Structure 1
Amino acid sequence: MGKARPRHKKNRRHNITQPTGIPSVKVTELEDSEFSVPESDKDISIDDIIEEIKSSSVQERLCGLQSLVTLAENPNSVETIIKHKVLKIVAPLLVDGSSEVRNLSAGVLRNLSASGSMQVIEMLVKDDIMTPLITLFLQYTEWNPETAKAEDSDTLLQLVNLLWNLCETDETALKHFNSANILNILLRCLNYQTVGLDLCVTVCQCLNSVSEDNTIIASSLRHHESDFLKILALTSSDQRLLLLKTLAAGIVVNLNPSSPWLEAVVATLSETLEADVHQQICQLSSQLPLNSSTLLSEDALTLLKNIQTLVDAQVMALEILTNLISSQDDEMDVESEESGSDEELDGWTEGDETQLLGLSSEIHEALDKYNLAKLVYMKISSLPENVMDIITNCAQSRALAKRAVRLQCCVYLCLNNLVSVVDMEQFGGPHALYSLVSNIFKQRLCLNPQQPGFECNAELIEASTAAIRAILLRLASFKFSDLGDINPYDLEEIFKIGILPEPRVQANVARIVGTLGVLLVNNPLLVKMVGNYLLEAVERQPALWLSAEALDSLMDVFADDCTDHTAAEINLVPRLQALTHRLKSKMRQERKMLGEHYPVVSTVMTNLSPFIKYKGTRV
C-alpha cells in the first residue's frame, strides 16, 4: 500500500519575548541554565507581585506587571505563575483605565501565551481571557494609526499576537473569534505603509492561522481577496515584505485551494524559496563572538534579524506548498485503493502515473514553471556541524539554530508530498532520487541514533524518514532496482532508527525496510534480514496499527514467489500463524479506537489469511 499525503500540522511557536523575535541574552541564559529558584523564594516573590497587581495605584500595578515580566523570563517560573492563578488576575487589566497598564498586561499575556506551555493557553481560555481581549479589540474600531499614540499602536500589536497564540492552539478561543466582530479591525491593518510592517505582518500571521480549515472566517475573507492579491504583487528586497507576501499566499490558499490566482501563489513561494538561507547563516557564523554572552555588533544583529525573517518565510512557504498538494488531492487515498488480486498484492503500480493525476493541470504547470521541485530538492542538506555549533553557542542566535532545524523538517515534509506528484525528471531522474535517499541518511540527525552526541530530534527524524519512505515508494513504482550499494551494515543502521520510541518513525521505517525488501527481492541475504526485522516488529508492537504497518510491508516483500526459500528459512508461515489469533483478537477489541488507522489495519487483516494460505502451499 502507499501512503496518503499528509497536510502539515500547525506547530506551537517558540517563546517570542522581543519584538524582533530574537531573545535577549538574559532570556536565553535562563532557558539553558539549570538554575531553579527555591520554592519558598518563588512564593514570596509571586505574593508580592500579586499584591502589587491588585493595587489601586497605577504605578504599583505597573511595577507588579514589570516584576511579572522578569519572573516569566525564567521558564521554570511558568508553573508557579499558573499555580498562583496570576493569569486570572492579569487578564482583566486588558481593560484597565490606564493605557500603560493595558499595554504592559497585553505584552505579559502575549509572552506567556507564547511560552510553549499548553497549560498556559488552557488556563487563559478557562479564565475567560477572550472577554477582556475582545472588549479591548473593539476599542480599536475607530483606530487611526496616523493619529494614535505609539503606546496604543503597540498595544494593538501585542493583542494581535495574543489572539494569534490563543486561536492557533485552542478551539474554544477560535470559536470566540469566529463569533466576535473584530475581523474588520484586523482587515484595516493590511496596508503596511499606513499601519507599519510589524503590525501588518502579525495580522497576516493571525489571519493565516485562523482561516485554515475555518469556513466561517474563510467565507468572510473571500470578500477581501483583492487585498491579499495586492500584497502578492509587492516587489521589494526587504525580508519582512517577503514574509508578508508569503503569508498572503497562505491566506489565498486557505480561502480556496483551487483559486484562479494559484499561479501568483506559486510564484511567491518560488521567490521565497530561491534564497540560499544556509549560505547566509554560514556568513553570519563568521561574525558571531566566541564568548556566548557577548552582545552582537549592529551589523551582525541586523543580519541575524534578516536571516531569521527569511527562515520564517521559507518555513511558511514550505508549509503552504505541502498543504496545497494535500488539499488538491484530498479525495485520493492511496492506502485504501487496493484489491485482493495477486497482481496488486505488492502495492506497486507500474509507472505510478495515476498518482500524478492527483493534482490539477494548473498546479502541475505552475510547479513546473517555477521549478518548485528543484528548489525544495536543493534545501535537503543540513547546516555544517561547526556552523550549528557556532550559532547554538551564541546566546542571541540560539533561537536561529532551532529555526534551522524546523526549516529542515519542513523541507522533508514538503518533499514527502512533492515526490509522488511531480515528474521524476524534475528531481533528475530515478538515480538522482535514490542518491537523495543516501544524502538524507547521511544527515547527522538521521544517521545513527545510538552514536555518542546524537541529537534525538523526534520531529526531524519523523520528517526525514517520511521523505525517504515516499521516495522509495516512488522508485518502487518504476521497478527501480539499481541498489547495488546497499549492504547488511546499511540495513542494520536503518533498523536502529526503527527502534526509536516515536510511533510514526517506527511506521515509516517499517515501510522503508519493506520497500527496500521489494527492490532487493533477488538478494536472499538482504531479504532474509528484512523479513526477520519485520516479523520481529509485528511480534513486539503493542499498537495494532504499527503491527499492521510492519505486517503489510512483510506481505509486500514475500508476495514474490522467488522469496519462497527465504520465507522457509525464517519460518515465515508458522510465525504468522502463531500471530493470527492475537492480531484478530486485538482487532475486535480496538476496532472503534483505530481512527485514521482503521483502513490500513482492516485491509491488512483481510489479506493476512489468504497470504498465509497461499504462501503455505509454496514453502
Structure 2
Amino acid sequence: MILLCFSGCFVLIRVPDFMPCCSDHPSADVREFACASISRVVQLSQNIPGFLQRDAVRKLGPMLLDRSLAVRETATGALRNLSACGVQEVCEDMVKHDVMTPLTALLREVRRRRRRRRFYESSSQALSVFNKSGLLDVVVQCLERHPDNVELAISAAHCLHTVTEDNPELLCSVNAAVLAALENVLLSSQADMAHTLLRTLAAGTLWNVKGSIPAARQAQMLNAVVATLSRCLDLDAGALIPKLREAEDARHKSSTAAADLEDQAAGEPTPEDEMEEEEEAPKQKRNGKAVKVDSDFSDLLPVSGQELREATALLTAQQTSLEIIVNVCCSDDPSDDEWEEESSSDESDMGPDGLCDGLSNLMSPLCLSAEVHGALINHSIPEKVLKKTEFPPKEALAVCQQDPSWRRLIKKMQRIQSRALTCLHSILSAMDAESLGGPAALQEAAQHLSKLVFGNTEASKEEEFLEAVISAMRSLLQMLASKNIPQCMTAEQLMSLSEAATRCDVVSVRVNAVAILGITGGTLAKEKGTAATLEMIGRALLQVATKDVDLVVNGEALDALFDVFADGEEAEAAAKNINLLTSLKTLQPVFKSKIRKEGRGKYNPQQLCVLDNIKVNLRRFIGYLEKVVKK
C-alpha cells in the first residue's frame, strides 16, 4: 500500500493498482515514481504475484523506451528486481509478454547514447533472443566503457556472465575482440570494490567461454582467472564493512554541518526549526482520530550511497568468486548411456562379501585437469575458501544492524558463508587428501565444521546454511574414512545432527545426514567397544529408512546400514541387539513396492539407478545377516 497526494487529497491505494493508472500518465515524474515504487516493493517476493496478475510486465515493457531517461532507468530496475526476486516462472512471464523487444531496442540505443542500463536474469527463450539479436557486441561495447563508467560496465559484465553460462550457441560469436575486452578488464588496476566486482564477473565469463580460447592461451587464461578470484577472496569484508560504515557517517556529518552553515548564512530555518514546524503540520481525520499525514516516500526509492555501494559490490564479488570456483571444480554430469550401463550391471559382478556401491559410486571424487588443480593449489584457493566458511564477524553484523539500508548486507554475508561451504564440498570432491594438506589439515577442517554445526544453534536452523555445511561435512568425513584418518564427531553430536536433519524439509540435508551416520558408523565398526554406539546409529537409520516420505532418503538410509553393519564383531553384536535382520525383512517388500509404484513418475533415471542398486543390495545384505545369525 502507498499514500499518494492528488490535488491536496491523500489517497491510500495498492501499488499493483497504482501501476496501470500511472504508466500512461502525462507527467514523467509520476511514471518514474510508479516504476521506482515497484522496483522497491517487489524485492519482497510475496508482492510479485499481485503485480503479475495486473499486467505489470506488459505495462513496464514499453516504459523501457519512454521519452524520459529517468523513467527508462527506473523501469529497467523494476524489471530487473521482478526477475531477480521472483521464481523462474516470472522470467518466463516477462518473455511471454514480449519484454525482450523493448529491451533489445534499449540495448541498441545504449550503443549510441552510452548511458547506464541494468540487465535482468535470463530464461532459455530470452537467451535465444539474445543470441539471435546480435546483442553480444552491444554488451561488450558497454563493458569497454569501464574506465569512465564502471556502473555501466558492471551491468554489462553481469549480463555477459549470465548469458555465457551453458550457452554453446553463443560461443561461436565469441571472437578475438570479445576476449580482448574481457582480458582488458581483468588487467585493470583500480582498487575500489566496484572494479573488484567487475574483474570477478569478467573472470567468470572467461571461464564460461574457455572453449573459444585458443589452446595455446588457455593455461595463461586459467591462471589469470584463478588469480583474480584469489585476490577477491583475500579481501576481509569483516574489517572493510565497519570502515565503510564509519566513512559514511563521517561524510554525512560533514555534509550536514556544511548545509547548516549555509542555511544560517542565508537566514533559512535550521533542522531544529523544521522539526518544530513539522510538529505543527496539518492533521487529517482517520477512523475518527487525528493523524499526521506523512508524504515522504523516500523508503520506496532505490537506495543510494557511495559506501553502501562499495560494501555491496565487495560482498557480491566474493559470492560470485565462490560460485565460479564451484563451476571450476565440477565436471559434466554422466551421460544417459553411462547411467544405463550402471543400472544394467550384472548382479554376478558382485562378490559374495561385497555389495554394489549404491549412492557412493555416484558420488566418487571428480577429476581435475593438472592445470586446474595446479592453479587452485598455487593460489591457495582451498585455504581461502575454508576461511570464508566462518560465521560473519560480530563487528560487521553490529554496524549493519544500526541502519536499515545496511541491514540487507547481513543476509549477503550469511550467503557468502553458505556459498563457501558449498564450494568447500566441491573442492573436497575434486581433490585428494595430500593436495589439501594431509591428515592434520583435514582433521582441523573437520573440527571447524563441527563447531559451525554445533556451536551456533540459531544458524543450524537455517536451511541454506544446514544444507551447505552438512554436504561439506559429508565430503570431508568420507575423505577421512577412505584414508583411515580418525574422525572427530562424538556419538552425541551424531545424534544431534541426525535429529536436526530429519526435521528439515530439504531432501539433500536428510540424505547427507544419514550418509554421515553411515560413514561414521562404518569407521566405528572397525574399533573395539563401539557396539553401543553402533546400536544407536542403527536405530536412527532404521527409523529414517522406514518413516521418511522420500524414497531417495529411504535408500540412502539403507545404504548407510550396509556400511555400518557389513563386517566386524562389534557390528554383528549391535545388529543382533536391534533385531536388524527382522526389521529389514519387514522393510524389504515395502521398499520394493514403493520403487515400483512411485519410482517411474517421481524420480529421475539417476535416482532410479541408485534405488535399483540398493534394492539388490538389500536382498544380498539380508542373506549375509542370515548367515551371521546361523553362526
> If the length of structure 2 is used for normalisation, what is the TM-score?
0.78
CA–CA distance in 2 between the matches of 1:529 and 1:469? 19
Aligned equivalent of 2:492: 489
The answer as to whether partners of 2:238 and 2:393 remain within 8 angstroms in 1 is no
Asked if structure 1 preserves the Cα contact closer than 8 Å seen for 2:418 and 2:469, the reply is yes
Task: Give the 5 Å matches for 1:74-473.
Answer: 74=41, 75=44, 77-116=47-86, 120-141=90-111, 143=112, 145=114, 153-154=115-116, 157-158=117-118, 161=119, 164-165=120-121, 167=122, 170-193=123-146, 196-223=149-176, 224-256=178-210, 259-260=218-219, 261-281=221-241, 302-327=306-331, 340-341=350-351, 345=355, 358-385=367-394, 387-443=396-452, 446-447=453-454, 456-473=461-478
Quickly say closer, same or farther: Cα 1:379–1:296, change in 2 above 3 A. Answer: farther
Q: Is 1:551 equivalent to 2:549 in the alignment?
A: no
Amino acid at match of 1:605: K
1:583 aligns with 2:591: yes
Distance 1:330 1:231 in 2: 35
Aligned length in residues: 548
The Cα of 1:347 is off from its aligned counterpart by 5.6
Write the distance in 1 (CA, Å) between the matches of 2:94 and 2:321: 31
Amino acid at match of 1:498: A
Pair 139,604 (structure 1): closer, same or farther in 2 beyond 3 Å: same
**Structure 1 residue runs without a partner (length 5+):** 1-25, 31-39, 146-152
Q: Quick check: 1:607 aligned with 2:617?
A: yes
Give the counterpart letter for 1:531 in structure 2: G
Q: Is the 8 A contact 1:448 1:497 kept in 2?
A: no
Alpha carbons of 1:375 and 1:68: their partners in 2 closer, same or farther (altered >3 Å)?
closer
SS at match of 1:251: helix
**Conservation of the 8 A alpha-carbon contact between 2:238 and 2:396:** no
SS in 2 for 1:381: coil
Q: Distance in 1 between matches of 2:369 and 2:333?
A: 9
1:42 aligns with 2:5: no
Amino acid at match of 1:315: Q
**Displacement of 1:137 after TM fit?**
2.5
List gaps (5 residues or longer) in structure 2: 4-10, 257-303
Q: Secondary structure of 2:499's partner?
A: helix
Q: SS state of the match for residue 493, structure 1?
A: helix
Deviation of the 1:609 alpha carbon: 0.6
Note closer, same or farther for the CA distance 1:512–1:125 as it changes in structure 2 (3 Å cut): same
CA shift for structure 1 position 50:
2.4
Contact 2:331/2:367, CA 8 A, preserved across alignment: no
Q: Please give the per-residue CA displacement for 1:47-94, whole angstroms capped at 9, x wherever unaligned.
A: 554233234x3x2x5414413423553346544333322321231232
8 Å CA contact 1:374–1:426 kept in 2: the answer is no
Counterpart amino acid of residue 314 in structure 1 = Q
How far did residue 193 of structure 1 move?
4.3
Please give the per-residue CA displacement for 1:233-261, whole angstroms capped at 9, x wherever unaligned.
23332222222221111111111268432
Equivalent residue number for residue 475 of structure 1: 480
Q: Are the equivalent residues in 2 in contact too, given 1:240–1:309 (CA < 8 A)?
A: yes
Q: Distance in 2 between matches of 1:505 and 1:186?
A: 40
- Look up the equivalent residue of 1:183 and give its one-letter code: L
Structure 2 partner of 1:14: none
3-state SS, counterpart of residue 628 of structure 2:
coil
Deviation at 1:282, TM superposition (A): 5.5
For the 8 Å contact 2:497–2:513, the answer to whether it is kept is yes
> Is this contact kept in 2: 1:472–1:516, CA < 8 A?
yes
Q: Secondary structure at the match of 1:212?
A: coil
Compute the displacement of 1:387 (Å).
4.5
Aligned to 1:7: none
* Contact kept? 1:62, 1:104, Cα under 8 Å: no
The alignment yields a C-alpha RMSD, in angstroms, of 3.5
SS in 2 for 1:73: helix
Q: Distance in 1 between matches of 2:482 and 2:537?
A: 19
| Counterpart residue identity of residue 271, structure 1 | R
- TM-fit CA distance, 1:459: 1.3
Counterpart of 2:30 in structure 1 is 63
Q: CA deviation at 1:517?
A: 0.7
Matched, 1:572 2:539: no
Alignment CA distance shift 1:227-1:266 (3 Å) = same
- In structure 2, the CA distance between the partners of 1:47 and 1:611, relative to structure 1 (3 Å rule), is closer
Displacement of 1:118 in angstroms is 5.1
Q: Distance in 1 between matches of 2:410 and 2:515?
A: 31
CA contact (8 A) 2:65 2:106 kept: yes
Q: How far apart are 1:455 and its partner, in Å? A: 6.7
Larger deviation, residues 252-261 vs 463-472: 252-261
Name the CA distance, whole Å, in 1 between partners of 2:455 and 2:498: 10
Deviations 1:500-546 (A, max 9, x none): 22111101101111111112112112111111111111001121111
Q: Separation in 2 of the partners of 1:386 and 1:100?
A: 38
Provide the TM-score with structure 1 as the length reference. 0.79
Asked if the contact 1:346–1:555 (Cα under 8 Å) also holds between the matched residues in 2, the reply is: no
Query: In structure 1, how many angstroms separate the alpha carbons of the residues matched to 2:18 and 2:236?
Result: 50
Q: Secondary structure at the match of 1:188?
A: helix
SS in 2 for 1:420: helix
Q: Give the C-alpha shift of residue 106 in structure 1.
A: 2.8
Checking the alignment, whether the CA contact within 8 Å between 2:389 and 2:418 is kept in structure 1 is: no
State the partner residue of 1:507.
Answer: 511
Pair member with larger Rg: 2
Distance 1:506 1:194, change over 3 A: same
| Structure 1 counterpart of 2:546, from 530, 535, 539 | 539
User: Do the aligned partners of residues 240 and 119 (structure 1) sit closer, same or farther apart at CA in structure 2, a change above 3 Å counting?
Assistant: same
Rounded Cα–Cα distance in structure 2 between residues aligned with 1:92 and 1:237: 38
Q: What residue in structure 2 maps to residue 561 of structure 1?
A: 568
C-alpha displacement of 1:283: 5.1
